[in-house]
Structure 1
């Protein structure tokens, strides 16, 4: 790696053949001279380009690791590291990780270094331009970009040209398509701006293959969880500043934990850059969706996530044996799901469950109380939900299959299977709203396998109804009330507001978000409030996903679609109430025996 300066990088970018054509295009578009446009492009490039220096890169990385990530254990697998090494040798690699903490680039850099790949050039927002740190960061390979790029075509063009230059150089890159850290633990709908510019850069011609590599980061405990929970409860986010950074470093110097880094299936850029009809925006949407799916498929499930699922979906307080017993069907579902990593074996024993609960307690996610000599465990809702949602999507196939099987039991046996499969598609589309997954075929295929365990088919003339709770006895306890209740309830809150809007004009997202938050306490047909129901970031993600599906557009059909979706959500809540009753009766019968 040779020494670079922003001035030299800007000159090299403008020397590309594509830069002349882009400058001429901008000159015609803005009715200015080509010289004036090139001067403005040069200013934008000097502002964003990193002046990377090898010694600064190494020193800056060491200092940050010591300040923020020194006590964390980072785990990855050798086969995945070898695959990344081969990709980096064949083309340019762009890492697209899930975003859970400010230390994510340091965790990924540690694994990338083990792969024998240079530290990626990291794209960050202008909000992280901090006094005394911006200069060293730029020399270490950090690119600071404006948070909003719309409206400035010159800056957008400079970014495309710079990306094309970096792709041609073969330098590994890294950014976060979600745009910010998740406040709910769930994957957020991807933001397509930087993906669109990257695909447009590929279309300019870079002379190398470009690979997008999804990366899953699973952190236990979740860093800064208490602050994230406070923000979900309405506390204003503290702006980034030098004082904020020093406070963050003091916190993280005391923090320690485990990070599981897993690489998803690589995605080749040209297939998305030249999408059907040549629409780069469509290609970016498809790429963002596929990256989100690959990240979720690579995510491991921790013992803390499984126990948090039990505690956030059940009664206010449970004993350790209760948590152990109710975790077993979740582990069984994971074993059938063929996850990227096997389910945590320690939860098969009460001692292992107790150890996981103690780690959650150290993270502030649960509390222990002693009642009549029996320790009871209670979840701290927001923080426990953050830990749960890192891996909760792996339980969705079994959970939606339970609702689909319940609905299939209401038709004659010869039509039960077809009804169940149709319901699976509908339910997964409901559940994934707000995550960017859009009914992942992998989750659907896994849900079909679970449905086979729960349904009874018949011949074409078989008009008998089959009894769901009788069939359930051989398939294991129900998990849908624990896994789906909070998410379905949150979506019902949002779509209750959406169905009130007529089709004369587009729906304003902020208006609906404000109304949903103020209306969170209503009871109606909703169950009692779950831990993650009143969630501004979850509501916002649901609304963003709904907008991309066209549900917020103006048009005569949209109000009907919004009312239909709200009705489907209410029906799912009724089914969850029925499943809760069946489960309680089954557990009561076991207790009597």
Structure 2
């Protein structure tokens, strides 16, 4: 009951004193300006004509939508929201790079900021406004899902700059017109806007594929009115600012992992809000807010136009730019590194064994100059032990101290939780892991093997590109040219000089001597999950496939394989990973039916079996006692 009273009291403290007072008492500035804007009036008239409707009827619909999404910044409400935010964030100390914030404040004085953030928690909506408000930034308007527009609390939030928007708007063209125009007016008034580039929370810890809706409307604004009218003044520009928020741990991860195993999503209502508030009672460490490299949206669009990239393709490219910068800004947390070590071992480890795994990772992170959250020393024994203790306290790990020394392991049913934390940093390791797979491929070339014009080195490049294509729905890779440059950087870290020649023997020597080995730690969970889906898809032969039924079958068979140790870890049995595998299969045309498709499906499964075989070999080279039993090769393949 204490949580209920606290949420209620904080909300009421910031609400209008009169129960009958509505939000807003008068329309916000942007709504009033829009209604009197000649371009907007012409756009509404065209919408009515295109839809064959009476213009007054369309106007009433537009005004209703504008009222629904309208937000304001009321000083009293904003102060109350900040107090509520502090209370919701009581599980954390929030760390911010003050030098980054000082640079951002300079931009804030002269530009409209478009803050695109990675969305790992509902707490993001508390962290970002509180950090900016405490440092006297211009008021920020944050887009949130209409599902969070709860009675009382929704009214409270909209008085603090939260703009509640609908997600499914394909069949509501007037709504899209209202939202696009509202965003244009906000930018014209130099308002700061914040939104999740992913469109919702990540369920795996990794950055999700970007959603283009808000970004599309921002590009329309920067490029001028897409309706073809000549604007009265030059179209405004915005500075796009990637914002990364990561946490040592999150109370809500266990709920998200339940959904990954097939559980229904809990609806957002007052009961949900109270439960969420109660979860924050226990301390969980720190939250880290980092700022990525800002850029002018207009200048970036002009650069793309010079390359011949316009329209939707330009929006996609900008979205990928934001995602890359978000990943680069995301710091490595000690929690993530410890989770990586224990997931890779999938057995109990002592502190010394965890440190033995982490030390080469720390050296690699230093060499690549990746930021570490809180400037933590990943080689420090007390730092690692503290992370082990905190993960044990929250139930992610279990500890056993009745022997000669304490050991820690992933708790029962906690593999997906640990994977969430590990995945917050997995993007910095994936190219190195792919490089290891390329080296192994070269090392397996037999005498007299048929080679491409580039010889053994080209075989390695082709394997790296194949892995890039296999995982392109899972990770944000740079362009092919930049990807090759990154791989050359990885080879220089291994060899210390440029690589111009490669032989199977040399590749084997490099691979065996590599520290750290990452492919089995980074790639295997995804490849195992893909193999489950590919195996179930191949089982259909040439027959049609029902996607929902395929996912359900994959969950069931995946659990069987986990029990049989046909997959290395239970973390691979996840609807989120299976859906990505399904996207890859769809991209390859394998969800279609017809004569011969069964052979293509089996070839896909065979490709994944071989990739899993190779990643397990790297695990053996790393000194890991691999006990994985690969799924049997179909009899038809044995005959081939």
- State the Cα distance separating 1:423 from its structure 2 match: 2.0
Distance 1:169 1:109, change over 3 A: same
Q: Is 1:44 equivalent to 2:71 in the alignment? A: no
Report the counterpart of residue 515 of structure 1 in structure 2.
553
Report the counterpart of residue 264 of structure 1 in structure 2.
292
Contact 2:559–2:570 (Cα < 8 Å) also in 1: no
- State the Cα distance separating 1:100 from its structure 2 match: 1.1
- State the Cα distance separating 1:378 from its structure 2 match: 0.7
Query: Could you list the per-position Cα deviations for residues 442-466 of structure 1 after superposition, in whole angstroms to 9, with x for gaps in the alignment?
Result: 6653332223455799988x9x641
Report the counterpart of residue 486 of structure 1 in structure 2.
525
- State the Cα distance separating 1:301 from its structure 2 match: 0.5
Query: Could you list the per-position Cα deviations for residues 42-72 of structure 1 after superposition, in whole angstroms to 9, with x for gaps in the alignment?
Result: 1211111114323222222222322x01352
Secondary structure of 2:66 counterpart: helix
Which residues in structure 2 correspond to 1:42-441 (within 5 Å)? Answer: 42-66=63-87, 68-113=88-133, 115-202=135-222, 203-204=224-225, 207-270=235-298, 280-341=311-372, 346-380=377-411, 381-411=415-445, 415-437=455-477
- How far apart are the structure 1 equivalents of 2:526 and 2:131? 33
Which residues in structure 2 correspond to 1:434-513 (within 5 Å)? Answer: 434-437=474-477, 445-453=485-493, 465-466=504-505, 468-498=507-537, 509-513=547-551
Listed as ranges, the gaps of 5+ residues in structure 1 are: 588-593
Alpha-carbon RMSD across the aligned residues, in angstroms, is 3.4
- How far apart are the structure 2 equivalents of 1:70 and 1:93? 28
TM-score by length of 1: 0.87
- State the Cα distance separating 1:288 from its structure 2 match: 2.2
- State the Cα distance separating 1:391 from its structure 2 match: 0.8
- How far apart are the structure 2 equivalents of 1:376 and 1:526? 23
Report the counterpart of residue 15 of structure 2 in structure 1.
none
Q: Is 1:24 equivalent to 2:45 in the alignment? A: yes
Contact 2:221–2:235 (Cα < 8 Å) also in 1: no
Distance 1:458 1:313, change over 3 A: closer
Contact 1:401–1:424 (Cα < 8 Å) also in 2: yes
- How far apart are the structure 1 equivalents of 2:212 and 2:51? 25
Secondary structure of 2:181 counterpart: helix
Report the counterpart of residue 633 of structure 2 in structure 1.
none
- How far apart are the structure 2 equivalents of 1:86 and 1:550? 49
> For structure 1, which segment, 231-240 or 434-443, has the greater mean C-alpha deviation from structure 2 after superposition?
434-443
Query: Could you list the per-position Cα deviations for residues 306-332 of structure 1 after superposition, in whole angstroms to 9, with x for gaps in the alignment?
Result: 111010111421122111111122122
> For structure 1, which segment, 201-210 or 74-83, has the greater mean C-alpha deviation from structure 2 after superposition?
201-210
- How far apart are the structure 1 equivalents of 2:467 and 2:355? 28
Contact 1:404–1:421 (Cα < 8 Å) also in 2: yes
Query: Could you list the per-position Cα deviations for residues 129-156 of structure 1 after superposition, in whole angstroms to 9, with x for gaps in the alignment?
Result: 1122111111111111113111010001
> For structure 1, which segment, 577-586 or 271-280, has the greater mean C-alpha deviation from structure 2 after superposition?
271-280
Contact 1:97–1:214 (Cα < 8 Å) also in 2: yes
- How far apart are the structure 2 equivalents of 1:47 and 1:341? 41
> For structure 1, which segment, 388-397 or 83-92, has the greater mean C-alpha deviation from structure 2 after superposition?
83-92
Q: Is 1:584 equivalent to 2:618 in the alignment? A: no
- How far apart are the structure 2 equivalents of 1:585 and 1:513? 31
Contact 1:293–1:440 (Cα < 8 Å) also in 2: no
Distance 1:212 1:561, change over 3 A: farther
Distance 1:197 1:306, change over 3 A: same
> For structure 1, which segment, 496-505 or 45-54, has the greater mean C-alpha deviation from structure 2 after superposition?
496-505
Query: Could you list the per-position Cα deviations for residues 468-527 of structure 1 after superposition, in whole angstroms to 9, with x for gaps in the alignment?
Result: 44334543252221222112211222334455678998x764344333223314649994
Report the counterpart of residue 34 of structure 2 in structure 1.
13
Contact 1:432–1:438 (Cα < 8 Å) also in 2: no
- How far apart are the structure 1 equivalents of 2:588 and 2:54? 41
Listed as ranges, the gaps of 5+ residues in structure 2 are: 1-23, 226-230, 627-640
- State the Cα distance separating 1:267 from its structure 2 match: 3.7
Secondary structure of 2:573 counterpart: coil
> For structure 1, which segment, 32-41 or 208-217, has the greater mean C-alpha deviation from structure 2 after superposition?
32-41
- How far apart are the structure 1 equivalents of 2:247 and 2:480? 23
Query: Could you list the per-position Cα deviations for residues 185-238 of structure 1 after superposition, in whole angstroms to 9, with x for gaps in the alignment?
Result: 111112223322332333326732112211111111123222223333333222
